[in-house]
Structure 1
Amino acid sequence: MKKMMFMLIALMTVVTTACSSGGGNAGNTGNAGTGGDAPSEGAAPAETAAPKEDTITVWTYPVHATYEDDLKELIADFTAANPHIKVEYEMLSWAEGPKKFDVALNSGNPPDLYFHSVDGQYVASGLALQLDEYLTDEIKNDYLPGTLELGQIQGKQYGLPIYQYQWAWGGNKRILEEAGIDWKKIQQEGWTWSEFLEAAKKLGKDLPDGGKQYALVTDGNGANNDFIELLSRNNGIPDVLDKDGNFQFNDERIVETLQFIQTMLNEGIMPPETAALDAKTRTEMFYAGQAAIISKAIPYYDVIIQNRNNDIDAGKIQGEKIDFVLLPVPHNDDAQPQTVMGGEGYVAFRQKNDKGAEHAKNTFLVMEALSGAKAGNSANELCLPFVRQSQAELFAGKGKANPDNLAAADAMAANRAEVVVLSLDDATAAKMKQFKEQVLKPNMQALYASEKSPEDIAEEFKSRGQSLFGQ
């Protein structure tokens, strides 16, 4: 859930789901069981061969506050049925885990299973395990429409998602209602850029302590591209490239998107110091009532803020309690609303010293065990959409989010944007990543700092796009 966590780290100072670091832990072990083929007709009965003992390694993250408890239970269930397969897991931290995995992958010795979205980089390594031969009709039919595909690269299965992440904005109910904003209507019907700008005029004001209340706060310190990507998708731009590899950031719509951000800065809708704001400061401003809306929220914020409110009641921390409102990202007036969603779960790998077909099969068996019905508790805890029918049935009526926010998440899911990178070949996906890191990120920093105009940035996009993509 790296992407999701970064949205939490990037927004709430609580990592994208409960957000705590973890240390290494060993999984459960089991003894050899029995199995084997039946003797041929007419032959004397023979002892069946015991299954070969095997060890599957899993690297994962604190997906939600009690995910390690979930994991232990899932492993215990699996080893009870498959005592010859030992499962060892390590709980990585969100800060250091990705680096550790990249080193392991580059050295040719990744874990058998890693918690992440599927990534073209993994396929390009030659070590990602293709899963299509292991997928039974029963498994495929259990996935809800369009969700199994979230674990595919160019139509080939490399991962099994356990939930759908969903990016949105989040609001402070008190501030919205004091300004007369009909947030329930926005949740169900969405809003345009023009409607947002009109609402923003009502959301900014001077505070009694001499500070300012802003309509919107985002982190502009160059940590990520989330803000521009959310807005550009809501202006008809699917990504830097479209699914056919056509460059999109040479379009007039990217100029419009950059100009929209500049307007929010110039009109004081966002803080003038946006370029210097990091995730922690942005979160503190939202908690302190200095911002009505925070960018790139996820449904799980509902639970996080409920927990914070409980801590305030218990005297553990001080501050104003907040009623969280999940809000769709506004879309340009002549564009369709788009919700950024994708799948996160487990991706399977071989090692450069291949351990053979039986080990690969066992890896998939563990993967399926960690992705099945009970694994749906992650979606339940995170207030995110399920990916499997069995999960939805098992956790029906047990949701933790406010009903209004759950309904808003469902409404936004109807406008799910395509995940472009899943359709690109490895080389093209790598170039798109390079563009985002080397071109998009520094230029957004320059926009927040008023060092470059939208028009100048758009021209650089065109130039660098031509250089990287030949378009």
Structure 2
Amino acid sequence: MKKSLLLCMVVVLMLMSACGKSGGNKEAASPDDKDTVVVWTYPVHGTYEDDLKEMVANFQKEHPNITVKTEVLSWAEGPKKFDVALNAGSPPDLYFHSVDGTYVNTGLALNLDPYMTDDIKTDYLPGTLELAQIGGKQYGLPLYQFQWAWGGNKRILEEAGIDWAKIQQEGWTWSQFNEAAAKLTKTLSDGSKQYPLVTDGTSLDFIEVLSRNNNMPDVLDESGAFQWGDERIVETLNFIKGLLDKGYMPKETAAIAPAKRSDMFYAGQAAIISKAIPYYDVMIQNRNKDIDSGKVKGEKIDFVLLPVPHNDNAPAKTTMGAEGYIAFKQKNDKGEQHAKNTFQVLEYLSNAKAGNSSNELVLPFVRKSQADLFAGKALGSEETIKASAAMAKYIVNPVTLKLDTATAAKMKQFKEQVVTPNLQALYSAEKTPEAIAEEFKSKGTQMLGK
């Protein structure tokens, strides 16, 4: 009898143990359990892939239970691949990008506030952590502060008598740019034309930076009020149209790809390129070295960082923000321990040594530890560093950081479906600025409720 009772108790315990390991009663993962954290990133700068490999190897030595699987995406195709994964509910654990309300709106962006320690918070320089927050919640950690500008060829500017040093420190208006553009337009010895400015026909950064320099922070302002529906957007579109009509930009701008834009600048066919970040200084320094060594053929260029010109009746504004890693969970949630592991990887990829990205890109550091580690090791020229600092005085941060996630998602959709095709129509002279502004207003009412 006693043996039968004992046998029954053993069977019951075995059944309870089996039930505890299945279904809704899944045991919580232990910090020592093996786990994999997936990271999707981009070739942030020339040596970033090597930096990333070293950081990942060092992290895994310190955390042998966590495998970090990285994939370096192309700038051209990466965003599409990520959007597909996100829409399917299976984004990577970490993705390199600026924090975006549309990502938060999916419900899959991971709120990092429970994992943020005081040591991490105090290491970030004032105002930088907020650049990865939506609605006051932390969804990522910045790696650097980005800064959008234009770039010039010093030789061409000086030959035309353009005081680029004064422009760097004092800025310039649309009228002053047009005056300079007239001097920069000429026919080259081979019969080709030298344009004052070249931009590509596929990106929105060109109209975004110009509209910000005409008192419009974005399609919407921080309160969600529609901006691109009055005389300011008509003025901005007419300024662009004027550049095309006067031959200050190529007539075929609509068909110019980003790579072609760069090729024209390198070939001396354009005095100024938009958009140029301070990192162009380092890129062109490296290109000049390759020309000296015979690896690359072409003319060496002395790079000049230039602010975006502003409307004569509007203040100068410099587009800035932050890029880094955003953390995500998946539709099939992998649990709290996986979230903690993801944050550990995120923090490691954003640490003091990760400040090399800011150093390489000639951009402001986001952490005190980064600034200390790379003090005195700046790669950019003194001219570029000073110009960047001067432009940073007129910083304007992305409005998406202040918008609710649903509104931010609608604004992104508006840009993709309305702004992009209309900008193409402007470049191709298929629509007037006034007609485009009217469509912005009507579509803004339909899509944004504004």
1:308 and 2:287 correspond: yes
Pairing of 1:234-273 with structure 2 (within 5 A):
234-273=213-252
Q: By percentage of residues, which structure has more helix?
A: 2
In structure 1, the gaps of 5 or more residues are 1-48
Large movers: runs of 4+ above 4 Å: none
Change (3 A) 1:371 1:319: same
Residue of structure 2 in register with 1:30 after alignment: none
The share of aligned pairs that are identical, in percent, is: 70
The CA deviation at 1:251 is 2.0
Q: Residues 141-171 of structure 1: CA distance to partner in whole angstroms, max 9, x if unpaired?
A: 1111211111111211101010111110000
Q: Please, which of 69, 72, 79 is the counterpart of residue 91 of structure 1? A: 72
Pairing of 1:33-432 with structure 2 (within 5 A):
51-220=32-201, 223-432=202-411
| CA distance in structure 1 between the partners assigned to 2:33 and 2:258 by the alignment | 49
- TM-score by structure 1 length? 0.86
The secondary structure found in structure 1 opposite 2:76 is coil
The CA deviation at 1:50 is 7.7
- TM-score by structure 2 length? 0.90
Tell whether the 8 Å contact from 2:41 to 2:70 is kept in structure 1 after alignment: yes
Amino acid at match of 1:424: L
Q: Please, which of 419, 438, 443 is the counterpart of residue 464 of structure 1? A: 443
Residue of structure 2 in register with 1:23 after alignment: none
Amino acid at match of 1:228: I
Pairing of 1:433-444 with structure 2 (within 5 A):
433-444=412-423
Q: Residues 220-276 of structure 1: CA distance to partner in whole angstroms, max 9, x if unpaired?
A: 2xx121111110000010000011111001121111111111111122211222222
In structure 2, the gaps of 5 or more residues are 1-29
Amino acid at match of 1:369: Y
| CA distance in structure 2 between the partners assigned to 1:89 and 1:265 by the alignment | 43
Change (3 A) 1:134 1:238: same
Q: Residues 91-146 of structure 1: CA distance to partner in whole angstroms, max 9, x if unpaired?
A: 22323322322222222222211111112222122111100111112111111121
| CA distance in structure 1 between the partners assigned to 2:40 and 2:238 by the alignment | 42
Moved more, 354-363 or 402-411: 354-363
The secondary structure found in structure 1 opposite 2:396 is coil
Q: Residues 439-466 of structure 1: CA distance to partner in whole angstroms, max 9, x if unpaired?
A: 1111111111112111111111111112
Tell whether the 8 Å contact from 2:36 to 2:66 is kept in structure 1 after alignment: yes
Tell me the number of residue pairs that the alignment of Structure 1 and Structure 2 aligns. Answer: 421
Change (3 A) 1:459 1:99: closer
The CA deviation at 1:298 is 0.8
Larger-Rg structure: 2
RMSD over aligned Cα, in angstroms?
A: 1.5
| CA distance in structure 2 between the partners assigned to 1:359 and 1:109 by the alignment | 14
The CA deviation at 1:71 is 1.5
Q: Residues 337-386 of structure 1: CA distance to partner in whole angstroms, max 9, x if unpaired?
A: 11111111111111222222122111111110110111100111111111
